[in-house]
A and B are shown apart, each in its own frame.
Chain A
Amino acid sequence: MMTAARHQPPLDEKELVDSAKGGDREAFGVLVTRHQRRVWLVCRQYVGADEADAASQEALIKAYTRLDAFDGRAAFSTWVTRIAINTCLDLLRKRRREGLRVVEADGDDHSPTLDIPDERAGPEEQARQRQTISRLKEAEQGLSDRQREVFRLRFYAQMNLEEIADSLNVHTGTVKTLLHRAVHRLRRELGDIR
């Protein structure tokens, strides 16, 4: 017996966006599958792990409702990352207005799960890793807000320099300067210098 061929969403990013603009939820689902990890990791850096789920979902829904504003000049990933950053900043502003604790403002929630070391390492190595993670977290607090933001987007959200520049709407040179200062300072703090 023949079965009806299931609708296959296109694979090309532009075609996916065009289909989603036309209301094809399946096509948007493919875009979400491709970009949700990045969006979540970006949100994680701003609002912390507890709220990253909600913030990233909100950002992706916003992206869907604003697809008509996406003109394809930037990559879809950059565009959706920008929406994620703005969503998180709105959330943080709202929290400040409401007088809530802004412990997550720098994306660091001091959750014990953050200190989970690599399970493949032995006990000594795990203890060492736990210690360095803790020291790194502490050292990040000494960075300026902008340095910390760029550092985290680069290393924890795994964005390249151009993507960070586009997402924050600054020059790549500015990102390089901020990142260089951040790494230079962190290396000093961690005592990694020869």
Chain B
Amino acid sequence: MSRHLDDHELASAAAGIPLEPERLAHLEECVSCRRSVNLFLDHVENRRRAMEEETPDWDAHLEKVLDRLPYSSAAPLAVRRRWLSPLLAAAATITLAVGTGMVVHMSGPAPVPTPRPEIEIEEILAQAESLLAEDGIPDFDVLDNITDDDLTALFGAQNS
């Protein structure tokens, strides 16, 4: 007969890890090696059997599970997911946008004010001109009535 199984081989045999064919052959023939393996397995089996004593009444266990099941399985969850996903995506986008804005605001240079479009200035000038055209500026009415010829006559006479 070949040599007995060593500690590691006995541990493997007890753990159910396959042995080399010749070592397995020895185990099958050797009462001493088998007894060593079985002694350990007996201890484990005693403990496992003790655990079996704690198992619940399986019918009652099944009933409790079935009682607590939602009324439809995967379907409502899938439906919930269908509308939940875009909502979550939108929330994430908003959070990201706000977050990014805050980070830029906190860490970057002060934001450059957006230049107001030129068209606005043009509009303001046009409005001012139209107002001026409608109403003369108070106390400048006299000037409004004087023509170039009047001025030439006035200042030309003084200069000469």
Contacts and interface: CB of A to CB of B under 8 A. Distances in A.
Contacts of B42: 132
Interface stretch (B46-54, B97-105, B124-132, B150-158): B46-54
Interface residues of B, number: 43
Interface string A32-59: 1100110011001000010011001100
B51 A36 contact: no
Contact of B65 (A21, A60, A132, A183): A60
Contact of A44 (B11, B51, B72, B74): B51
B36 A67 contact: no
Contact of B69 (A52, A61, A118): A61
A23 B17 CA distance: 41
A132 B66 CA distance: 39
Contacts of B70: 64-65
A183 B69 contact: no
B101 to A, nearest CB: 34
A136 B54 contact: no
Contacts of B7: 184, 187-188, 193
Nearest to A67: B74
Given A49-B54, A180-B17, A192-B36, A66 B74 contact: yes
Interface of B: 4, 7-8, 10-12, 14-17, 32, 36, 39-40, 42-44, 46-51, 53-56, 58, 61-62, 64-66, 68-75, 77-78
